[in-house]
Chain A
Amino acid sequence: NAGVTQTPKFQVLKTGQSMTLQCAQDMNHNSMYWYRQDPGMGLRLIYYSASEGTTDKGEVPNGYNVSRLNKREFSLRLESAAPSQTSVYFCAIETGAGANVLTFGAGSRLTVL
């Protein structure tokens, strides 16, 4: 997972608490993504960013906000965490020109009690 760094790796929250997952890349690519992975559901796209300052909703954006203030960082925020947001979250960057090739971070495991 060299090139994409996610923090924290593990987090436990209580319902209603807020937190931000951080993602940083050192590969100078434009497109960045946030996915969540749940058993039996595969990876589902939450938000993506095609370039600095732009963001768009993916398949499951409700309950999340994102911020892409610079080319290097893309953060995912949960304003009021719910148990349904218990999941493993992956940040990814698009590294293959024209073929949607993604390089993923190691993931952040979030538990909401």
Chain B
Amino acid sequence: TQLLEQSPQFLSIQEGENLTVYCNSSSVFSSLQWYRQEPGEGPVLLVTVVTGGEVKKLKRLTFQFGDARKDSSLHITAAQPGDTGLYLCAGGNDYKLSFGAGTTVTVRA
């Protein structure tokens, strides 16, 4: 059983469309991170959120941390083929970082 549940598992959209990926848990985290991973590479950090209700924007990406610090969402506006990849959320407490199973996003040109 995953501590962090991500949905959907797969997402395929046309260039220019918007998408949202969700990350949910029954546990409270002191921080939550989003990583993107491309084939043959390790995950690369996109953002860290630490405050309940926090919203962070990174160009066309918007990240939100739930008020109770148990869930998060990643929204991409006007997706581009370069956004294609595996998106992983990870919740942190003390030394431990627990990962969701990931959402594979494919943006078609």
Contacts and interface: CB of A to CB of B under 8 A. Distances in A.
Interface of A: 1, 4, 31, 33, 35, 40-45, 48, 50, 58, 90, 92, 96, 99-107
Given A100-B31, A100-B90, 11 more contacts: A40-B101, A42-B4, A42-B101, A43-B43, A50-B95, A96-B48, A99-B92, A100-B92, A104-B44, A106-B40, A107-B42
Given A99-B50, A106-B42, A42 B88 contact: yes
B95 A101 contact: no
Interface residues of B, number: 24
B95 A1 contact: no
Interface of B: 2, 4, 9, 31, 33, 40-45, 48, 50, 88, 90, 92, 95-102
B3 to A, nearest CB: 9
Contacts of A96: 48
Given A40-B101, A42-B88, A42-B100, A100 B44 contact: no
Contacts of B99: 35, 42-44
